[in-house]
Structure 1
């Protein structure tokens, strides 16, 4: 299984073009910074030292305005490209998660908690946003823009260029040292959030039971304790973020101060080196001093975005684990299709099934024959294997031993989707989806005619209860069918079948 960082790198192909465009726009913005500093230094030198006329400086003022507007447009373009790249990655990951959940099947999903899965699809995927939108382009720009400014500074003063070259690497060094601690804290905080989400969802589902047994107050205290633990974890991450920002600001201030001290002492004739024998004018000194903050700005931005990397790595741990989980072997890997009008007959021969981690067999030497058109009720005590039998027939579990034949054909030879289309399924707890009642009945075929939907509703004796809704079959069922009674929900499932 790949490491979280390797898994994040595997997603780069989704956003390569927007990220590359963001880097190009950022590099152009860096060039604009150098030009802007040169224009400002020239304007101030010309106005203060050379006493130039206002009319002679109008062209430079116009150029300065154009550069400022251009920088704003480039920053907007970078933001749009970053959002686009992040959106592509998050959409890809969510699609992969849904495909993985579909491949795992309902039996495997029943063993997972709903809250952590929802958290993975929502919070953890959203945690990837800043990494791809901001950190990934900034990682390259933090090398390109400082290098451009250092080379520019060396062309005017090797001493200032040397100050830039020595102090610039200190910021990424401290950033990495602090970021490693933030990565561990972010991962731990995600785990706390998963447990809290699962606990809170279980409490909501069992709120009626807790009230009846007078345990709601105790459960509220447990939720408060869980929330307090998450709050402390969040504050620990924020403390580390503020600490790293303070350190980066301190290092940046010291580096700029060193540049200012060198230039000041050179103006006072205490230093006479570092300028290739040239005179230090106000234009040159101001230009170098204006470059200093912009040299460290990309590095500081990378430092602030480094926490996005730590957050993304924390999210990648659970996302990569979920996507690396191997789905069970499909029961029907074949391609054979059953004739659409042929009645179905089932035959099971010496079927055995054992779940992992259990000593006893869920099904032990089961032999069964169901003729076409025959009605059969499978009864037994809890744990006798009724659900296991249905899951084997539906293809949700692999057949470990024995044979299952449909009209004399091995079930393994049939196309899985084609076989499931021949089966009607009414579960014990029907799953209704937000939307209209008619849409839930026509779940298999959204293009189903209203006449066919009405006929199915009549056969399930659903029209009379449906008439109690304001809009009948066109009325909403609510979230998870909360606008219907339990009996109405089961009749919807029966009409759907």
Structure 2
């Protein structure tokens, strides 16, 4: 018997019913529609393709009915029918080409829109900074950028073209039957609108189910990623099997939600097929009874060509509605995805139309040389702390100054450095070269400021590739010189592959001190005006620390340098030392 309590615990972890039942707002729906402007030409082509195919379909049906009438009623010779048969074959080939072109245009439009949305989300991640992203579940962010954006594909590639065809073709086909047979046209014109009506009722349930499903999928992604990241800790404390059961129970809950979405989709198809079969059967019964003489509702004799044309067109009236129903769930999935993206990123990003020139923020004037930095009235709160770590702090760095920042662990040294680099929000005023920090363009700011934290970010790849992140255009000679200055060669030369040694994710394969030296090598490839270092020598022995510090000070000559450290020996190498205490900076 299955452990329902475990399933309940897992379900609560990956699903928030109140949030999942929240309907998309009007702004979210309008944002989804505005995305179509990013790929208007291919979307117009995708929407026009089924309409052009519908025009050719009418011609093909009439031509086929005339060929059958000539062959059956008039007993025409085969040579006389050959032209009509070839015409039908040509029309079928042209319609297939038009359908392919429409599908291709829809796919191009969807890919273009998804690419622009992902770029906009990446820009939103950069704008919010690492302080915000560290507070989010990485699995949820990844799911939003990958899975939720991918859910928009069907809306633009399939749903919008199908909606255009479903809105125009059934009515147009029904009206075209009026000159041929008024009764058949009326039967189709009356039954066709009933399908969207009842499908809309079913669609409301499908939309809610899709929102619950996507929300559960995002929660499960974060849940699984967190457990995978902490797998070694779980095994150490004997929780691996219990967490595996929780993941299995959460996966089972997601499977049940997936099945509920499919059940509603099948119900929608059943509604469509019922009314479509009813309409086609009604036309067929009416024409059959007319031919048998049991009905006489016409003013003229119903010819074989007219009857066959009505029978051929009857299922085609419902074909666009069938196509629309097949892709109706794409709309519900897209709206649910937009709701999820809005919740994860605290708002929807602005996506510029295709061809529009990007509006760049006001860039800081190009500058070189050391940076002048002034900070006044800094106030910064840290998560989990009732009192601010900085409260009215002030700091001034003259161009080319070298300053050491000291204080006990947790006092706020790292927070101050991150605030100066605009990586952590804070109250107060920070001026870089006399310009407010908020007014700086991101690229210009990163060119003027270089920061190395206590835990530098290393990527999966070779050591050389990680160093080259500091300057992708750097030559091999410059990269090797930077590695030498940072004392990276001291440990890579003992490796068979040297700088081409492959690291795992997050720099797996290096010690803390080695990772710091790789980050310093990145710094030596750059030309910043302000260098911010947070405990760059904390994991080094005294001998290596002295040599690395020599290289840092030599590189910082003519540049402004602020270094946070616990070591009195390091601070003694600087002409000015500040101490952070009680949220204020004091001269040491």
The CA distance in 2 between the partners of 1:157 and 1:414, in whole Å, is: 72
The CA distance in 2 between the partners of 1:325 and 1:247, in whole Å, is: 37
- Alignment partner of 1:427 is 2:453: yes
Cα deviation code 1:20-66 (max 9, x no counterpart): 11122111111122122122222222222221111111101110110
Q: 1:294 to 1:487 in 2, by over 3 A?
A: farther
Match of 2:308 in 1: 286
Match of 2:419 in 1: 392
Cα deviation code 1:274-320 (max 9, x no counterpart): x4x22112221111001011100101111111111000010010223
Q: In the TM superposition, what are the counterparts of 1:416-455 in structure 2 within 5 Å?
A: 417-455=443-481
Match of 1:297 in 2: 319
Counterpart among 110, 115, 132 of residue 139 in structure 2: 115
Determine helix, strand or coil for the equivalent of 2:406.
Answer: coil
Q: In the TM superposition, what are the counterparts of 1:92-491 in structure 2 within 5 Å?
A: 92-273=116-297, 275=298, 277-322=299-344, 325=347, 340-342=368-370, 344=371, 348-354=375-381, 359-368=386-395, 372-382=400-410, 384-401=411-428, 403-404=429-430, 417-467=443-493, 471-482=497-508, 484=510, 486-491=512-517
Let me know the Cα RMSD of the aligned residues.
Answer: 2.6
- Deviation of the 1:366 alpha carbon: 2.7
- Deviation of the 1:420 alpha carbon: 3.6
Determine helix, strand or coil for the equivalent of 1:291.
Answer: helix
- Deviation of the 1:413 alpha carbon: 7.3
Q: 1:482 to 1:30 in 2, by over 3 A?
A: farther
The CA distance in 1 between the partners of 2:418 and 2:267, in whole Å, is: 54
Higher helix share: 1
- Deviation of the 1:232 alpha carbon: 0.5
Match of 2:537 in 1: none
Contact 1:337 1:415 in 2 (8 A): no
Contact 1:338 1:419 in 2 (8 A): no
- Deviation of the 1:255 alpha carbon: 0.8
Q: 1:191 to 1:414 in 2, by over 3 A?
A: closer
The CA distance in 2 between the partners of 1:468 and 1:278, in whole Å, is: 99
Match of 1:330 in 2: none
Match of 1:74 in 2: 98
Cα deviation code 1:295-346 (max 9, x no counterpart): 001011111111110000100102234555499xxxxx9866585233x565
Q: 1:470 to 1:137 in 2, by over 3 A?
A: farther
Cα deviation code 1:206-257 (max 9, x no counterpart): 1111111101111011111111110000000011111111221121111100
Contact 2:463 2:503 in 1 (8 A): yes
Determine helix, strand or coil for the equivalent of 2:379.
Answer: strand
Contact 1:171 1:248 in 2 (8 A): yes
Higher strand share: 2
Contact 2:486 2:518 in 1 (8 A): yes
- Deviation of the 1:492 alpha carbon: 1.6
Q: 1:471 to 1:67 in 2, by over 3 A?
A: farther
Contact 1:189 1:233 in 2 (8 A): yes
Determine helix, strand or coil for the equivalent of 1:425.
Answer: strand
Unaligned runs of 5+ in 2: 1-24, 350-360, 524-588
Match of 1:4 in 2: 28
The CA distance in 2 between the partners of 1:345 and 1:131, in whole Å, is: 51
Q: 1:158 to 1:472 in 2, by over 3 A?
A: same
- Deviation of the 1:364 alpha carbon: 2.2
Q: 1:266 to 1:483 in 2, by over 3 A?
A: farther
The CA distance in 1 between the partners of 2:348 and 2:151, in whole Å, is: 24
The CA distance in 1 between the partners of 2:496 and 2:320, in whole Å, is: 60
Contact 2:381 2:426 in 1 (8 A): no
Higher mean displacement: 197-206 or 420-429: 420-429
Q: Normalising to structure 1: TM-score of the pair? A: 0.91
The CA distance in 2 between the partners of 1:368 and 1:380, in whole Å, is: 18
Determine helix, strand or coil for the equivalent of 2:449.
Answer: coil
